[in-house]
A and B are shown apart, each in its own frame.
Chain A
Amino acid sequence: MTTTAEKTVVAKPPKKRKERDFRIQSKYAPYARFGKYAALLLFLVFFLMPIYALIVTSLKDPSEVSVQRVWELPSTWSFASFEAVWPKLQDGLFNSVMLAVPASIISALLGAANGFVLSKWRFPGADFVFPLILFGMFIPYQSVLIPMTETMSFLGLKGGLDGLILVHIIYGLPLTTLIFRSYFSGISDEIIEAAEVDGAGMLRTFFHVALPVAPPAFAVAIIWQFTSAWNDFLFGAVLTTNKSYWPVTIALNNIAGGQSIPFNEAMASALIACLPTLLVYVLLGRFFMRGLMAGALKG
């Protein structure tokens, strides 16, 4: 469903052949070129501007921080803002790691099984079930929050991280299932049939034929799930009652959400809370992109 889209986004535009280039070069072409780069640079400024403000402000000496001077470079560099907010965010960061890592891995494993069955071992009714799973990806979480709090406190899973992990695994399933289903659709049926002819059952085929070729899909699913679990706010806000279990987004909102906190501390805490997912994006952006495109169904 998404494989072509993934490839084309990453693919370079086709090389032009020198001798048969029919493109008509208008005499305005150099100006158009200039205009294109000027526009791109303007957009670049727009997209990077908030990050510039974020970094510069959190590295300034608190005495020279003000919204009026947000665009000025610091005259002296200082880590004072980070030192001020670190104690308040520390627990949140730890909780988010403890939450996002297992949630993304387990969700990806279950998604792999679902994706394999729904692409290569379609049981009768599979085509009916798949769209129902997909809908779970788009559902507004508001519409499940009240029953969820009820159920989770009934099960004794409200308050700590366990319940939150469970919920992230479940609501991650639609996307991980979709990612693996698309990925396994790309494996040729002959390989699966060959395994069957050799007497391998469904489980053996899954573990010995499908899983060994699936690491790229795992990378996409885990990275995407990690990012969404890390960035989630609603589930964390509803299911963690005790301050010591707050994920970092809740901690961030509670310390930096108001106007009462100094500008530099707000920026420093936002930067700290964003750093892990930003790092994942910079280092593994390719996989992140595929998760993104998969979420659009058609790309």
Chain B
Amino acid sequence: MRRFRRWGPALLLVTPSLLLIGVFVYGFAGWNAKVSTSTSRGYQITDDSVGLDNYQNLLKDERFNMDVRNVLIFTAVFVLGALVTGLVLAMLLDRGVRFESFFRSSFIFPMALSLIAVGIIWRWLLQNGEPAGGLNKLFDDVGLGFLAGDWYNSDSSWAIASIALPAGWALSGYIMALFLAGIRGVPEELREAARVDGANEPRVFWHVVRPMLWPVVMSALVILAHISLKTFDLLLAIVPKGDLALDTPAMYMWFTTFDGGFYGRGATIATLLLAGIAVVIVPYIWYSVRSERRK
């Protein structure tokens, strides 16, 4: 009874939230997995079970295979691009830059915009028409015409990589902020000690700061990779409807589920998406919570 008097009110206070999260996150994800083993279609959930048929069909599905390839290309280019840009920005801003907060805010503000809007803006900037418009026109004007390209309209099977440009535009500032926090978290005494030993600034960075940045790199990788797999709004706003060359599993899920009513197939793609994200996120949460407990 004393135990209840101590913990009872606290439990009562968090129970509604826990129940809601339990149902809406875990309950729904589980239910979705169940739908993925059924023949549900026509905007209806059917209670039959066909085992893993949907999964097997999906693996044989040409569109899905191309989607997986696309999202892997997009992820590779976007994650690497945003990671490098973020790191470079953080190193540029690290110490003693005038108007630092202005620069910092200018690099981060795209995070505040809706990705639908970001997509709409970039969809126009990345046009490939003749005469050159948008970004291509800008390249022409400053004598960098060779950089002009067909972007997402390209016939190349790498067209999806061009979406990494708007995605990187939107998220590099975030990665910069993570790196900046990491770099500034390195105790000044350590840097000072290396300087006393005769190291110049680049060597201080390389030998003192860099080794302490690995946890930040890991965080940034996990965050970028999971965002990349989920990317939907941005693609929806940029990709001309029905252009399968720029399709991804997240897009396929949307169209097959809500345009076609194929709930079974949609749920299958969604479950695979969840599995892919859980693979990177679960170890990350586990590591974060454990290292917090150690403090």
Contacts and interface: CB of A to CB of B under 8 A. Distances in A.
A133 B285 CA distance: 10
Given A70-B125, A139-B274, A292-B177, A257 B195 contact: no
A5 B179 CA distance: 10
A144 interface: yes
Contact of A131 (B17, B107, B216, B286): B286
Contact of B21 (A54, A174, A299): A174
B13 A68 contact: no
A134 B17 CA distance: 12
In the complex, which of the residues B27, B88, B121, B240 has the most CB atoms of chain A within 10 Å of its own CB atom?
B121
B169 interface: yes
Interface in B36-57: 45
Contacts of B7: 121, 123-124
Given A130-B289, A145-B270, A277-B113, A9 B200 contact: no
A200 B237 CA distance: 54
B91 to A, nearest CB: 9
A174 B17 CA distance: 9
B158 interface: no
Contact of B273 (A143, A227, A282, A298): A143
Contact of B236 (A144, A227, A233): A233
Contacts of B31: 146-147
A9 B132 CA distance: 40
B133 interface: yes
Contact of A142 (B17, B94, B141, B250): B250
Interface in A136-177: 136, 138-148, 150-151, 167, 170-171, 173-174, 177
B277 A234 contact: no
B28 A118 contact: no
B10 A121 contact: yes
Contacts of A170: 20-21, 24
B131 A273 contact: no
Interface stretch (A44-52, A74-82, A187-195, A213-221): A44-52
A135 interface: yes
Given A121-B10, A234-B232, A293 B29 contact: no
A46 B215 CA distance: 28
Contacts of B219: 296-299
Query: What 5 A-B pairs come out closest when comparing CB atoms?
Result: A67-B133, A231-B114, A22-B195, A281-B112, A144-B28
16 contacts: A13-B184, A39-B88, A47-B109, A53-B125, A67-B127, A67-B137, A70-B125, A113-B17, A144-B25, A145-B257, A147-B32, A203-B9, A230-B114, A234-B233, A249-B116, A288-B111
